[in-house]
Amino acid sequence: MFANTLRRALCSLWGALVLLGAGNAFAGYSDTINLVKGVTDISHKVYDLHMLVFWICVVVCVGVFAVLIYSIIYHRKSKGAKPATFHESTTVEIIWTTIPFLVLVVMAVPATTTLLALEDTRDADMSIQVTGYQWKWKYDYLDEDISFFSVLTTPREQIEGSEPKSENYLVEVDNPIVVPINKKIRFLITSNDVIHSWWVPALGWKQDAVPGFINDGWTELSEPGTYRGKCAELCGKDHGFMPIVLIAKTEEDYAAWVAEQKGAAEADAAAATQTWSMDDLIARGESVYNTNCAACHQANGAGIPGVFPAITGSAIATGDMAGHVDIVMNGKAGTAMQAFGAQLNDVDLAAVITFQRNALGNSAGDMVQPSDIAAAR
Amino acid sequence: MSASNGGYYLPEPSHWPIVGSVGLFLLLGGFANFLHGGSWMVMAAGGAVLIYMLFGWFGTVISESQSGKYNAQVDMSFRWAMGWFIFSEVMFFAAFFGALFYARMWSVPWLGGASNNVMTSELLWPAFEAMWPTNGPGNVGGDYQYMGAWGIPAINTLILLTSGVTVTWAHWGLKKGDRTHLIMGLLATVALGFLFLGLQAYEYIHAYQELNLTLGSGIYGTTFYMLTGFHGLHVTLGATMLTIILLRSMKGHFTSDNHFAFEAVAWYWHFVDVVWLGLFVFVYWLV
Amino acid sequence: MSTATTHDEHHHGAPSGLMRWVKTTNHKDIGTLYLWFAFIMLLVGGAMAMVIRAELFQPGMQVVDPQFFNTMTTMHGLIMVFGAIMPAMVGFANWQIPMMIGAPDMALPRMNNWSFWILPFAGTMLVSTLFMEGGGPAFGWTFYAPLSTTFAPASTDFFIFAVHMLGFSSIMGAINIIATVLNMRAPGMTLMKMPLFVWTWFITAFLLIAVMPVLAGVVTMMLTDRNFGTSFFDAAGGGDPVLFQHVFWFFGHPEVYIMILPSFGIVSEIIPTFARKKLFGYSSMVYATASIAFLSFIVYAHHMFTTGMPVAGELYFMYATIMIAVPTAVKVFNWTATMWRGSMTFETPMLWAVGFVFLFTIGGFTGLMMGVAPTDMQYHDTYFIVAHFHYVLAAGALFAILGGVYYWIPKWTGNMYNERLGKIHFWWSAISINVLFFPQHFIGLAGMPRRIPDYSLQFADWNMISSLGGFAFGLAQIFFLFIVIKTIKGGEKASGQVWEGAEGLEWTVASPAPYHTFATAPEVK
Ligand code: HEA
Ligand code: HEA
Ligand code: CUA
Ligand SMILES: [Cu+2]
């Protein structure tokens, strides 16, 4: 009786395997059960290689399982089977050592060519430096003098379940990386703290961001579109919350975007020369705090004991202004506290410091102006 | 190879292992605690318990051995065990040698732009030129001088090589049954071992005080101290074991055909010797 | 004082009381201790997996916070690997190897006790980190630098020393096994007559001796980078974070074979017994095991295809990795050929063994897919990997362990387990484990990274199914605890032979096996 059950279970297992292959045919399903096909030549090569190896595995698997299932069914004592006495055969052993070897050689050939193509970053039209931070990405357009951070925008309320989750839950950011189509783009990937990994499945690869070293990868897109990915190397508490959104634009649209970025940079520079009121600073500081600091020091400033210190009641955040400015601008070497002087502009720094001193339960009562920050640089 | 089992000595239940576990737990847990501002007392207590255990355990083994409970097969078990224990030590050193080779052959050249790391050099460390020795592109630990091979290290090489000879010479004595010969050989070996340690201590002080070469001097300082330091630790251990063997020889232990403990320590000493040769070549000589 | 010659006057049976277990030098007692320790750790590590699956049951953060989630992932991996699977295998080795080769005990019984009794202390130190300020280790069981050095909580130093202690224990255990196999075999028991389980453990022991010290080395480097200013893993000082991964995986890859080779051994004992036919290709099994062990040292960087290795390195490690399929193929084919034209019955141990062959093969094939470097650029660090290694570890090593327990428990306790309950346990586990891990292939391919506490919406359905399978599989193991206790308490008495088709020295002694077996060596033809 249980042999029947065994047979049935094996069949359903089998069914599941076949389903994985057949799923390919059901376009609707293939999104959630098979490898992302992607939108570049390379990603198609990778996908095809994946399917090739997959089918080889399925075929060998079918062969082995068929023999196993056959003998499970027919070579049972209850079926009156008498044990045979053979227990070795050099010929057979040689055959079944050689065949897998040949199969592997067959796989290795396309694998080699695909790998070589994947790693060929020569002759790029433009380069973008991608830097991982705990827990956000920074993009520097090396030929354009554009540079910005990209942070998750999904609100806490959605994550904690007090609001319904939006369509792009956890894969939406404030400043997506924008690239032109039909250009070979080289990504220079590194990190500022721990190892991250920059991964947009539609491009067909991921590459680790290793602090102190630069790894590269490349892509060439042919269609405009929005492609979403995630950090793929455990990088601490918010590893699951540092997505990547990549937007491919036509060359005209891309040029327009570049111009717009440069305009924004000038506006920021102008804002830095003004004198700001306390309320304005605190208001702006709150949003800067929530995007940049709350991941560690928490939205309410309580920190996480033993890992990230509290801002509320912190001796630094309520004490001497110079010390506060110093730790925010220069960070603290050898800890997770980054040097925000290199990340935020003068206005944002002034705002967030003022905010920390006069909110989150602190009331130092003083403020710092963008011009003071500029002087401290 | 498989001798008859008749008479294989099976020890009584023993409390030494659990004492050892408690000691190890206190020593290591205490050390971790000490690193985070705890007192050193737990660690010291753990060390004391471990030493107590070692004396007790080896004391038992020695008295069992002296009362003739160990037959040739037991002896063989000890030999296999000691041999593979030494192999595990070799692998421990291999990890650190591996780190040294990796730094010299890969990571330092890469930081200087070699292989697929042109952009690493261009964007991150433009001022860095790869060479060995180095304290890295961050000039970690500040300027320093490296340790040359032909001063103390060369003398220490001679010392250790000589000690390898003297311990073998002592072994001849033991095999001949000439106890004075054995004791003289061991005495010389122990003396050379401690002389080596003294010179190494002097070298370290010199490096810290005059060369500004510290554990924190980038990858060169790191590999230099970790390799020579762990080696020194093993010399200390080996010299201590030799001392015990010396004391036992003076008490009249060991016979010309039954002296596994002596041989085990001698093997260990040769292992320490060979590691040193690797160090001399790769840490000191080929800088 | 006792030697084997005078042993008759002294201990016929086991001494009693708690101190029996603390001070014991008897391989069977120590085997029992290992097995219970492993079982408890399986439940602890499994409970952590339940926390993981509960949090992943649906999108959003419900049960734990992200930092604690990472701690759970880390501790689950560590406890399963070092606390459950490895000690269970050593438990089998202790019980079986002396009996299988006709030895009176392990070669170094006192050291054997120490190997075990370090474990509870190491386990305590590891688990105690959960209660320290800043929380336990949260950097994955692979503890990559610099997340585990500069950016780790204070408790990491305790974690480091716990790993050191685990290492001591494993090295001593392995030395003991090598000495036992080389030196304690009964007359006539030549190497090529040893049961395959002994062979696989013998080879595993060499793997252990070669790689545990390297693990000790890498955690020592972490310790000094954290506390004494060294620069192993810091580019500014000329080191490299990726160096950590090289050293770790030089240990880590052989480590996964440390867990699977003894499983191969167990399965190679069970299948011939219930096929009533000699193991097909005994000597090629031995050579295949040795080749797998050898290859395991030279393929390790397949875990690092995305770290930016030069392309020549990637090619080399890809070729070497997929080569492992060849000796593994030999194993799978030999088991198949053993079953072919046998006279099979399907008692519980056989069910687990057959289940192992099927599910391990699936896991092996996904491993092969990941060995292909360009596609691994997509698979790496996704749930596809998680599915792979649970097929080889949970549906592989753990299945072999469970099968082994059913196979030998009559010999250990003298009582038969309840066959009906055993079968229920098997089917319950076999089905739920596939519900648990098969969908993880899908979500991994579709793009869900591993080690994340929350995910975007397209992965919701399969995660929920996977979690349900997980809870069911967890309950099945609680059921197993019940079966084991029931068997120990009583049950049909087992004969010495136990299984009709069983061959080997352990079946020539009574059940339960006397406290001392083979005080005089048996003669092996
Ligand atoms: C018991 C444990 C175990 C075993 C046995 C294996 C077996 C294998 N593993 Fe696996 N592996 C792990 C445990 C294990 N693995 C773990 C824990 C990880 C993750 C670690 C982490 O990051 O946390 C991992 C990760 C891992 C990776 C890294 C993936 C990544 O992170 O990107 C790779 C890549 O190559 C890999 C490959 C393989 C291969 C090729 C085998 C081979 O040995 C499989 C060989 C078997 C077969 C191929 C099937 C049977 C063969 C036949 C029926 C013959 C026919 C074959 C042909 C014709 C080709 N494994
Ligand atoms: C070595 C063997 C081994 C085994 C047997 C298992 C068993 C299980 N594992 Fe795994 N696992 C690993 C080794 C193992 N694991 C490793 C090495 C990692 C990688 C870690 C890392 O990324 O660093 C990992 C990671 C890992 C992940 C990925 C986590 C992440 O990336 O964030 C998941 C997620 O589903 C998971 C789930 C499970 C489940 C559900 C089981 C089940 O089989 C467990 C079954 C449960 C029990 C046996 C316990 C019995 C139950 C109780 C005591 C509780 C009773 C309560 C209820 C039923 C509610 N494991
Ligand atoms: Cu950044 Cu994970
Ligand atoms: Cu591996």
pLDDT tens digit string along A249-282?
999 999 999 999 888 888 887 877 888 888 888 9
β-sheet bridge partners, residue B18: none
pLDDT recorded at residue C232: 96
pLDDT recorded at residue A190: 96
Q: Which of A152-161, B193-202, C206-215 has the lowest mean pLDDT?
A: A152-161
Instruction: Give per-residue burial for A176-211: e unless 16+ CB within 10 Å, then b.
Output: bbbbbbebebbbbbbbbbbbbbbbbbbbbbbbbbbb
Sequence-ordered list of residues with C-beta below 8 angstroms from that of B185, at least 6 positions apart, any chain: B166, B167, B169, B170, B171, B172, B173
Q: Read off the tokens for B75.
A: 């002896």
The pick from A60, A93, A206 for probing ligand 1's pocket by mutation, whose C-beta has the most ligand atoms within 8 angstroms, reads A60
Specify the DSSP element, H or E, that contains C429: helix C419-446
pLDDT band at residue A23 under the 50/70/90 scheme: very low
Beta-carbon count within 10 A of A98 CB: 11
* Ligand index nearest the alpha carbon of residue C436: 2
CA distance A17 to B103: 45
Query: Which candidate in C53, C226, C253, C441 is catalytic?
Result: C253
- B1 pLDDT more than 60: no
pLDDT band at residue C490 under the 50/70/90 scheme: confident
Instruction: For chain C, give every domain's residue range.
Output: 25-508
Query: Which candidate in C201, C257, C300, C412 is catalytic?
Result: C257
- Quote ipTM for the complex: 0.92
Q: Which of A265-269, B38-42, B212-216, C396-400 has the lowest mean pLDDT?
A: A265-269
Query: C148 C-alpha to center of ligand 4: Å?
Result: 21
Q: Is B69 exposed, middle or buried (0-12, 13-18, 19+ CB in 10 A)?
A: middle
Query: Which candidate in C185, C302, C380, C441 is catalytic?
Result: C302
Sequence-ordered list of residues with C-beta below 8 angstroms from that of C463, at least 6 positions apart, any chain: C56, C57, C58, C59, C439, C443, C448, C455
C457 contacts A169 by C-beta, under 8 angstroms: yes
Q: What is the mean pLDDT of chain C?
A: 94
Instruction: For chain A, give every domain's residue range.
Output: 35-119, 126-269, 272-376
The answer to whether C287 contacts chain A (CB < 8 Å) is: no
Contact C214 B218 (CB under 8 A): no
Q: What is the CATH number of domain C25-508?
A: 1.20.210.10
Return the closest-CA partner of residue A304 out of A296, A312, A314, A313.
A296
pLDDT recorded at residue C14: 64
User: Average of pLDDT values for A17-35?
Assistant: 57
Q: Read off the tokens for A278.
A: 């306390």
Among chain C residues, CA nearest to A338: C151
More confident residue, A345 or B30: B30
- C335 pLDDT more than 50: yes
Query: A137 C-alpha to center of ligand 3: Å?
Result: 9
Is C396 touching ligand 2 by the criterion CB < 6 Å? Answer: no
| Ligand 3 atom 1, closest CA | A196
Chain A interface, best mutation among C158, C328, C343, C354, by max A CB count within 10 A:
C343
pLDDT band at residue A24 under the 50/70/90 scheme: very low
pLDDT recorded at residue C8: 40
User: Average of pLDDT values for C393-414?
Assistant: 96
Q: What is the CATH number of domain A35-119?
A: 1.10.287.90
pLDDT recorded at residue B58: 94
Q: Where are the alpha helices (DSSP H) in C79-155?
A: 86-101, 109-128
pLDDT recorded at residue C359: 97
CA distance A324 to C245: 37
Contact A190 B123 (CB under 8 A): yes
In chain B the domains, ranked by start, together with CATH numbers, are 1-70 (1.10.287.70), 73-285 (1.20.120.80)
CA distance A163 to chain B (A): 42
At the top level of CATH, the class of A272-376 is mainly alpha
The answer to whether A36 contacts chain C (CB < 8 Å) is: yes
- Catalytic (active site) residue C388: no
**Following DSSP, what letter does each residue of chain B receive, concatenated?**
-----TT---PPP-SHHHHHHHHHHHHHHHHHHHHTT--SHHHHHHHHHHHHHHHHHHHHHHHHHHTT---HHHHHHHHHHHHHHHHHHHHHHHHHHHHHHHIIIIIHHHHTT-TT-HHIIIII-TT----SS--TTTTTT----PPPSTTHHHHHHHHHHHHHHHHHHHHHHHHHT-HHHHHHHHHHHHHHHHHHHHHHHHHHHHIIIII---TTSHHHHHHHHHHHHHHHHHHHHHHHHHHHHHHHHHTT--BTTB-HHHHHHHHHHHHHHHHHHHHIIIIIIT-
Q: What is the mean pLDDT of chain A?
A: 88
pLDDT band at residue C12 under the 50/70/90 scheme: low
| Ligand 2 atom 51, closest CA | C474
pLDDT recorded at residue A365: 85
Residue type (1 letter), C77: G
The pick from C75, C80, C436 for probing ligand 2's pocket by mutation, whose C-beta has the most ligand atoms within 8 angstroms, reads C80
Chain B interface, best mutation among A207, A214, A215, by max B CB count within 10 A:
A214
Report pLDDT digits (tens) over B225-274.
999 999 999 999 999 999 999 999 999 889 888 899 999 999 999 999 99
pLDDT recorded at residue C411: 95
Q: Read off the tokens for A322.
A: 């110079």
A339 contacts A263 by C-beta, under 8 angstroms: no
Give the predicted TM-score (pTM) of the model. Answer: 0.94
pLDDT band at residue B6 under the 50/70/90 scheme: low
- Catalytic (active site) residue C450: yes
Highest mean pLDDT among A159-168, A328-337, C449-458: C449-458
| A136 phi/psi in degrees, rounded to 5 | -160, 170
Query: Which candidate in C328, C366, C466, C511 is catalytic?
Result: C328
User: Average of pLDDT values for B194-220?
Assistant: 95
Among chain B residues, CA nearest to C238: B136
Is A239 touching ligand 3 by the criterion CB < 6 Å? Answer: yes
At the top level of CATH, the class of A126-269 is mainly beta
CA distance A176 to A227: 10
- B2 pLDDT more than 70: no
List, chain by chain if needed, residues with CB within 6 Å of any ligand 1 atom.
A 60, 64, 100, 103-104; C 142, 256, 259-260, 302-303, 321, 324-325, 328-329, 332, 361, 364-365, 367-368, 370-371, 376, 379-380, 385, 388-389, 392-393, 396-397
The answer to whether C439 contacts chain B (CB < 8 Å) is: no
Sequence-ordered list of residues with C-beta below 8 angstroms from that of A218, at least 6 positions apart, any chain: A120, A121, A124, A184, A185, A186, A187
pLDDT recorded at residue A26: 43
Where in chain A does DSSP place strands (E)? 126-133, 136-141, 146-150, 177-180, 185-191, 196-200, 205-209, 215-219, 225-231, 243-249
pLDDT band at residue A374 under the 50/70/90 scheme: confident
